[in-house]
Structure 1
Amino acid sequence: MQHTLEAVIFDWAGTTVDFGSFAPTQIFVDAFQTAYGFALSLDEARGPMGLGKWQHIEALGRDPAIAARWQAQFGRPMGQADVRHIYETFIPLQVERVGAHSALIPGALDVVQSLRQQGFKIGSTTGYPRQVMERLMALASAQDYTPDCTVCADDLPAGARPGPWMALHCVQQLRIGAVSHCVKVDDTLPGMAEGLNAGMWTVGVALSGSPAGWTLAQYQAADEASRANMRNRVSAELLAAGAHYVIDTVADLPVVLQDIEQRLAQGQRP
């Protein structure tokens, strides 16, 4: 088959590794507790998922419920000094523990290997800073997953998601001819915005990512009714954010790529 698509740009946690995206969310809970003795729930920690980690902490501080508890506990709003302290607490914890959540999501490696055989280039972007990604990339490489490029949240002066800059930096590194020939795959709303703002096709991941919050064991044990309920809830959020397609996990990507190829052949663009 003659391909018009040139590249797929994957997110990391919740999309290609770390089923349920537990590494970053749990560490946010731990960082708030360690830095300030402040209680944050796992669901609250998931709220801004997809942003760069500094921006994620800022967003948590602006959440009305969290901000009210912070004000009650400390008698002041969260400030930039607080954000910095939590971030500086977060990073070493994340580097230390990212290995516990580094397993590839089932089907991810098969999909990537198949894409490479078809001539696709593989890019990746992440809300993780480079310091964390150096560790995670080594662990992924040991599982035979090594994207052609990886752009981290702190790599670019323009910033990270929801802006287009990380995805567009992948376009430059991969030497892609047109952004409409790229597909962005992500489990978060900022990830959808990243792809859309870059002019790419966007594919949301419903069941392996942060919005669902399932472990792999929970996903495997869930009956079809439970999966359908979760799929419907998360898909509605991703589609409302502009996703062109929503799949359960990255293993379901090939059929979507075939459909995008047909749409491109008909002259459609993202």
Structure 2
Amino acid sequence: MQRNTEQSPAYRGPLQAVVCDWAGTLVDFGSFAPTQVLIDAFAGFGIEVSLEEARRPMGLAKWDHIEALGRQDGVAARWLQRFGAPMQSSDVDAIYSNFLPLQIERVGHYSDPIPGAIDVLTQLRQRGMRIGSCSGYPRVVMNRLLEKAKADGLLVDHAVATDDLAAGGRPGPWMALDNVVKLGVPAVAACVKIDDTVPGIAEGLAAGMWSVGLALSGNEMGVTQAELAVLSQEERAQRAEAARQKLLGVGAHYVIDTIADLPAVIEAIEARLREGERP
């Protein structure tokens, strides 16, 4: 048996696409639509869930998010105390059935574009880049979100929901790679995945893309713009640094405050590509 020891040539061209998350990335500063509705869905079963608890599994498909939330020690103990047995898959199904209509109803309420998002997407298109997207939202929620985004002037070229693909969602690479196929991008190294969650960063890395985390606008910071504005400089800096370190710690190539800061990262990545670097 002979083995070819030649390395395939590195991609040295320009970036051709970005694949954006939605809540906390393009819309919904602080990522409240998923978390608050999850809290309300659990409350419908008499189980109190804190915002901090609801945020921990953020980025997963919503059924998986509910299951992971139910496995957390505090939530699991409350469930056991109330129902006398650990949460089962059938219980996850029941909570999800409660969650889904609430999420469809309320997603638009929370999903205003994050400042700078529309301008940045316009700049990327002027560079010849395509705009992909994916989400932990199921398709019925994604459709409602896309209607709202279009009305606000925020347009993408492709959007994948977590239940669109048989292979599943995050942290696997499949939604990100579906964007590569549908957008016709010839090299994954020519793509940038942008996300505010740990599973979303893992998704981009698994797909072989450059992965960019968001510290201020997303789940890790978990505050509205109004709440961010009244934080002391010290608290803002401490919390932002904790968010940056968490996302860098799981492999993000860059972490920025919000999508408004993306153009400088695009320039930096293209310089690295010209030197033959790979994600």
Superposition TM-score tier, normalisation by shorter sequence: over 0.9
How many residues align? The count is 268
Aligned position for 2:6: none
Instruction: Give identity over the alignment, percent.
Output: 57
Aligned position for 2:84: 75
**Unmatched tracts of structure 2, length 5 or more:** 1-11
Secondary structure of 2:159's partner? strand
Matched, 1:23 2:25: no
1:223: how far off? 4.2
Match of 2:229 among 220, 245, 248: 220
Q: How does 1:1-270 map to 2 (within 5 A)?
A: 4-34=14-44, 36-270=45-279
Secondary structure of 1:90's partner? helix
Deviation larger for 228-237 or 164-173: 228-237
1:3: how far off? 5.8
Query: In the TM superposition, what whole-angstrom CA distance separates every residue of 1:122-158 from its partner, at most 9, and x where no partner exists?
Result: 0001000000011110000011111100000100011
1:65: how far off? 2.0
TM-score normalised according to structure 1 size: 0.97
Code of the residue aligned with 2:35 in structure 1: it is T
Secondary structure of 1:210's partner? coil
Query: In the TM superposition, what whole-angstrom CA distance separates every residue of 1:99-141 from its partner, at most 9, and x where no partner exists?
Result: 1111000010110011111110000010000000111100000
Deviation larger for 257-266 or 216-225: 216-225
Secondary structure of 2:57's partner? coil
Query: In the TM superposition, what whole-angstrom CA distance separates every residue of 1:20-79 from its partner, at most 9, and x where no partner exists?
Result: 000110000000111x11111111111100000000011011112211221122110100
Larger Rg: 2
Distance 1:3 1:26 in 2: 42
Distance 1:250 1:224 in 2: 21
Distance 2:221 2:14 in 1: 32
Code of the residue aligned with 2:36 in structure 1: it is Q
Code of the residue aligned with 2:123 in structure 1: it is S
Secondary structure of 1:176's partner? coil
Structure 1: 4+ residue segments shifted above 4 A: none
TM-score normalised according to structure 2 size: 0.94
Q: CA RMSD in A?
A: 1.1
1:209: how far off? 0.3
Code of the residue aligned with 2:107 in structure 1: it is V
Q: 1:55 to 1:219 in 2, by over 3 A?
A: same
Contact 2:215 2:240 in 1 (8 A): yes
Distance 2:230 2:262 in 1: 22
Contact 2:13 2:273 in 1 (8 A): no
1:249: how far off? 0.5
**Unmatched tracts of structure 1, length 5 or more:** none
Code of the residue aligned with 1:21 in structure 2: it is S
